[in-house]
Structure 1
């Protein structure tokens, strides 16, 4: 009985710590990026092009709606496109934006320490000027997000003195093309491990576009991030991932995916490259091609991921309630890892 009570006490302490991390980080993020919190949908209509296709292979959870003549709806996979439509509606000024809680279901995830079928993240988006479509502007926004993470790390270390801060004071920027050239014999994930361990925190630029090897570093849908715009003679891409070195798991750990969003030209280019021109007739895509949507930058920041990292947990199920195979829960419990 004592052991059970101790487990319950630890879980309650973790719940309080998770709430603290989420509240502190959101406060920091809103201030640095000039964001206003808004409400977000859990579902969107099928066939509008609003739902995020992620890598293009994940199956969204869908169902017919009785009160709408059986029209199909889908649980969101992220809010990348929905946010841009909302910014048009709110008519926000450049330099300001929105942030919301995104809760998604991704049944095709491979369950493990980093992944569950329940996804929660801060989805943020802000209006930008068309002339800010360049790498320096992207880096400026990344640095603001990283500063928000550093401030939250400091607050966590002050409140929970057993936790020692590990992140470096600055984030390092590197292009996926340069990383591939430096380590041509490593896989993409192995390259991430090497660079994250070397620098502690990196922003890996250029996710989705083809590298010199003929393969992308990782998948990205063609209709939200801009991964095809040349930024120099040798590199391209106006998006990327924030990666940190997780010393508990001893591997690279992705906290955020973000980027400058496609405009009319890059949408056409990326749809053509992915042989997805049929999407042009969808509502979202037609609005963008008719240049009726504002130019934006945005992304998602994993809530459970950030809590897991800053609280130095071994499994995402320690900071998030989801469903897990019984054999996985039993094996973790035997190792002293108790899922919420």
Structure 2
């Protein structure tokens, strides 16, 4: 099936719109969170503990470096830990931080409308005061990010009038454990769909720690977000996900994962919970346990996810160039969906 002139024009228009969304959101994010744009690595050295373990099951892409006596490096999976080391180097004051363009490879992803092996996100990290280590501070930062999303949605609607805003004026905060109690017979994904369809935009608190009965809403590595600190008599977790309702896919749609980062006490606890105490000797972890790293809050915000949502696309490949099975490309083309 040949690509028509109309299809090429559609792709180019999408490319232009993607650039517009990224520029607008980054501008508003930097303003809301007082962030400075910096450069970022695409690889880190293996065995330092700097690379992100995500859910703990993903395999990082690795290779030996000839000039460094075959020492192995890994393509980043995210920059959660690397950013905290940079903040130590830059000696920024509490209330200020950094943001960078993170590009990662995750070959274990199940490819589909929401997932690609190529990951691009705004990775941000901000120095915070130890006194702000509480849920209200986390909620305040989430609200600021949501304000940046709303401002970008308004700018997109002004630039492309056919793209009508759909987000509510405010984001709703819900704890994963409260959602489990409300819908005990649903899966975590079904619970998300229920809540986000009702409210339009939700920050789901407490991702990674065991809920009542031992269930995890979703996995999180033990050494970046704090998912173990009690925030009430029945719930815990100083992290979460920003979820919005995607009007085309008709499902909850994750835009960001973020949280207050572990301090020495919570790192020790979470390593013990996950039986990963051996990580204590790695460079990053030893720096943190010795109190040499600043207290921070941070996260990742999907760039292609943001473009996909605000441009009302139904497949991430419409806004991101990546590798896709040819049968997937052809099947989508018959439905009028053209991957970059």
TM-score range, shorter chain: over 0.9
* Between 227-236 and 92-101, the greater mean CA deviation after superposition: 227-236
Equivalence map 1:232-271=2 (5 Å) = 232-271=232-271
TM-score (norm 2): 0.99
Q: CA deviation at 1:232?
A: 1.1
Equivalence map 1:220-235=2 (5 Å) = 220-235=220-235
Unaligned runs of 5+ in 2: none
Please say if 1:128 is aligned against 2:131. Answer: no
Matched residue pairs, number?
A: 340
Q: CA deviation at 1:325?
A: 0.4
Q: CA deviation at 1:4?
A: 1.1
- The alignment yields a C-alpha RMSD, in angstroms, of 0.9
SS in 1 for 2:213: coil
Report what 1:297 is aligned to: 297
Please say if 1:43 is aligned against 2:43. Answer: yes
Equivalence map 1:114-263=2 (5 Å) = 114-263=114-263
**Relative to structure 1, is the Cα distance of residues 205 and 312 closer, same or farther in structure 2, using a 3 angstrom cutoff?**
same
Report what 1:332 is aligned to: 332
SS in 1 for 2:13: helix
Structure 1 stretches of 4+ with a deviation exceeding 6 A read none
Equivalence map 1:90-109=2 (5 Å) = 90-109=90-109
Q: Distance in 1 between matches of 2:213 and 2:317?
A: 36
* Residue deviations 1:129-178 (CA, integer Å, cap 9, x gap): 00100000000000000000000000000000011100000000000000
Q: Distance in 2 between matches of 1:65 and 1:333?
A: 41
Q: CA deviation at 1:2?
A: 9.6
Q: Distance in 2 between matches of 1:75 and 1:66?
A: 16
Unaligned runs of 5+ in 1: none
Please say if 1:283 is aligned against 2:288. Answer: no
TM-score (norm 1): 0.99
* Residue deviations 1:228-271 (CA, integer Å, cap 9, x gap): 00111111000000000001001000000000000000000000
Q: CA deviation at 1:3?
A: 6.0
